Amino acid sequence: MTSKLIVPAAARPDGNGTVMKITPESAGWRYVGFEALKLKAGQRLSRETEDREVCLVLLSGKGNVKTSKQEWTAIGGRMSVFEKIPPYSVYVPFGDRYDFTALTDVELAVCSAPGKEGYEARLIEPGQVGVEVRGSGSMERFVHNILPEGEPAGSLLVVEVFTPEGHWSSYPPHKHDRDALPDESLLEETYYFKVNPGQGFAVQRVYTDDRSLDETLTVKDGEAVLVPKGYHPVSAPAGYEVYYLNVMAGPVRTWKFFNDPEHEWMLHGR
């Protein structure tokens, strides 16, 4: 039986290029929306943002982006996420629109959440993306902070993570499902996975303290996982490196997580 937490990709794109679409309604929550599209060179996508803000992440390929007031041409620098260079992205506020034209074959992520304030559309270039290493040993992973809380937006937080083969990430297990600041923030989250080589898989466990939710998931290349609550560690099996794009949003735009007390000792040693 397929878990309700796993969102598979369509076998082929629809007329708009969409291979996956997650809405607050389909996920059964309030904030996060995510869409993955595969566009052919010359294909165009035109949309209104309405009451939601959007972050367009060029996972691979190059394209032109135009909003109601801004325009950027020939953006995009990597042809695979596993080149591990930061992506080009475009932030588009609520009440705006975007027109995207693919110059090459493109894989595009459309991340969305409720818009709150009148921010301006802007290009997020690779040099503006914060790059960091988290963890050590077999918990080491590499992070690109595309739209962190220190950059202007109403609700959205967007980050991508590279987990080397045999390593763990989102680890030690942590959660952010309580509106209990300053100790913990409530954030819904999606994980969009890519695996190299593509026949591989990732493993993700999603569980709560009372185990009312406790699932261990085998996630394939191009699938997404919904994390409505609970801890959510990820493992990259030997022989396969794992990429995921995280989209988070909640009532307050800050990432304050709580580590599973049973496993927090790993941060300090025995």
Q: What is the pLDDT of residues 85-143, one digit of tens each?
A: 999 999 999 999 999 999 999 999 999 999 988 899 999 999 999 999 999 999 999 99
Between residues 3 and 40, the one the model is more confident about: 40
Distance of CA 71 to the CA centre of its chain: 24
Cα within 13 Å of Cα(93), Cβ side: 14
Distances (CA, A) of 90 to 20, 70, 111, 208: 20, 10, 10, 35
pLDDT of 96: 97
Evaluate whether 228 touches 146 at the Cβ level (below 8 Å): no
User: Model-level pTM?
Assistant: 0.96
Evaluate whether 35 touches 21 at the Cβ level (below 8 Å): yes
Evaluate whether 247 touches 34 at the Cβ level (below 8 Å): yes
> Torsion-angle region of residue 69: left (phi > 0), alpha (psi -120 to 50) or beta?
alpha
Work out the mean pLDDT of the chain and round it to a whole number.
96
For residue range 104-119, list pLDDT tens digits in order. Answer: 999 999 999 999 888 9
Confidence label for 151 from pLDDT (cuts 50, 70 and 90): very high
- How far apart, in whole angstroms, are the C-alpha atoms of residue 72 and residue 51? 23
Residue 172's nearest CA partner among 144, 201, 141 is 141
Confidence label for 269 from pLDDT (cuts 50, 70 and 90): low
